[in-house]
Structure 1
């Protein structure tokens, strides 16, 4: 799944987006990892994705991210793999992961902004997606 291997599937690109958000603050929480697993297990976009490949896909993303220009390389492969119609989906999944542990730090917020720009998600659409994530992951 590295950039030198075959191109990413759209599902793998979505996983990459979730992984980079989870890793943004250098702490991938159990809640974030659980959320990624549940998203892959339950959303229709992943119905033909082999769930056994989730860990290896996330590891390939982490390996790519560890390079000197890793974040740019991740963005490049994600952009190449995602059709325009799935870019809002990618942003929504990123927001879900950021909101899942109840705290979105500055690193995660900045990364969400970068994702929004790199994937050309309109600001108004992004605001609606962000509000939906906050509502879904609210706690009493």
Structure 2
């Protein structure tokens, strides 16, 4: 994760209602914990399982949108990010049409003329 993505995470956790209960002082530790999990074999699968279990059904769409925001925050989306986002969509059980709408909205936010 680059600095721009980390700053985006900080911004989103401060302003989105979904993070109202989240302690911003725990953000660095949470990012480190997630990074450590991702370094393990099958780490992505484990992390996606934790995320899916922790989220209520309505917040799964929010989580997907947040992932899109982070991927787009540096104005370039790597192939690996696309794979992770698609894996996240499947893990969260989101309908393809819902995901497409969220993707289009996120892309529109970052378009320039």
| TM-score (norm. length: structure 2) | 0.94
Residues 33-78 of structure 1, C-alpha deviations (whole Å, 9 max, x = no match): 1111100011111122110000111111111111111111101111
**Residues 100-115 of structure 1 mapped to structure 2, 5 A cutoff:** 100-115=73-88
Runs of at least 5 residues in structure 1 that lack an aligned partner in the other structure = 1-27
Aligned residue in 1 for 2:51: 78
Is the counterpart of residue 123 in structure 1 residue 96 in structure 2? yes
Structure 2 match to 1:64: 37
How has the CA–CA distance of structure 1 residues 139 and 35 changed in structure 2, closer, same or farther, with 3 Å as cutoff?
farther
Q: Normalising by structure 1, report the TM-score.
A: 0.77
Deviation string for 1:61-97 (max 9, x for gaps)? 1111111111111011111111111111110000010
Residue in 2 that maps onto 1:98: 71
Deviation at 1:139, TM superposition (A): 3.4
- CA contact under 8 A between 2:89 and 2:99: conserved in structure 1? yes
Quick check: 1:35–1:97 contact (8 Å CA) kept in 2? yes
The CA RMSD measured in Å over matched residues stands at: 1.1
Aligned partner of 1:23 in structure 2 is none
